[in-house]
Amino acid sequence: MSLNISYDDNNVFARIIRGELPKVAVFEDEHTLAFMDAFPQSEGHTLVISKLAKAVNITDLDPDEMCRIMRTVQTVSQAIVKALNPDGFRIVQFNGEAAGQTVFHTHFHIIPVWEGQSLGRHGEGMADTKDLEKIAERIRNAL
């Protein structure tokens, strides 16, 4: 069930997985990839995707692949907390255009939150790659 959207092998995340587009990686294993969001809502905003599943949204995922992704979400969340010391964090996942999904490859957002700091609007203001790399290095060191 893809909410009437078929998987596009040329979506931005598929192209990142194939190495056609750059990324600032935080964590990678044979099944998953975690990388910095280029349009972060907060410092440390990280995305987690499946490298193997051609899934548009969560309803398309095999349960075993879902478990692999969630294991990576948990691992990276723990590293973000250790590295950046946020007051909290959000795990966000959108399914379908009506729900706010803009890249039709199943993905999870890990968004650190600090008291008194508003989150930026997603998709506004591309981050500087050098800044993302510094933050990613801190997170990688906390893994």
Region 42-66: mean pLDDT is 96
Structure confidence by residue, pLDDT tens digits, 90-124: 999 999 999 999 999 999 999 999 999 999 987 78
**The predicted structure's pLDDT at residue 125:** 85
Instruction: Read off the DSSP letter of residue 25.
Output: E
Given a cut of 70, whether residue 2 has pLDDT beyond it is: no
Catalytic residue among 31, 107, 109, 122: 107
Please state, for a pLDDT cut of 70, what percent of the chain lies above it.
99
Structure confidence by residue, pLDDT tens digits, 56-100: 999 999 999 999 999 999 999 999 999 999 999 999 999 999 999
Q: How far apart are CA 100 and CA 47, in angstroms?
A: 15
**The predicted structure's pLDDT at residue 28:** 98
> Could you count the other beta carbons within 10 Å of the beta carbon of residue 32?
23
Would you say 64 and 82 are in contact if contact means Cβ atoms under 8 Å apart?
no
**How would residue 7 be classed by pLDDT, with cut points 50, 70 and 90?**
very high
* pLDDT, averaged across the chain: 96
Domains and CATH numbers, the chain: 12-142 (3.30.428.10)
> Is 31 assigned a catalytic role?
no
Q: How far apart are CA 24 and CA 8, in angstroms?
A: 22
Q: How far apart are CA 89 and CA 138, in angstroms?
A: 17
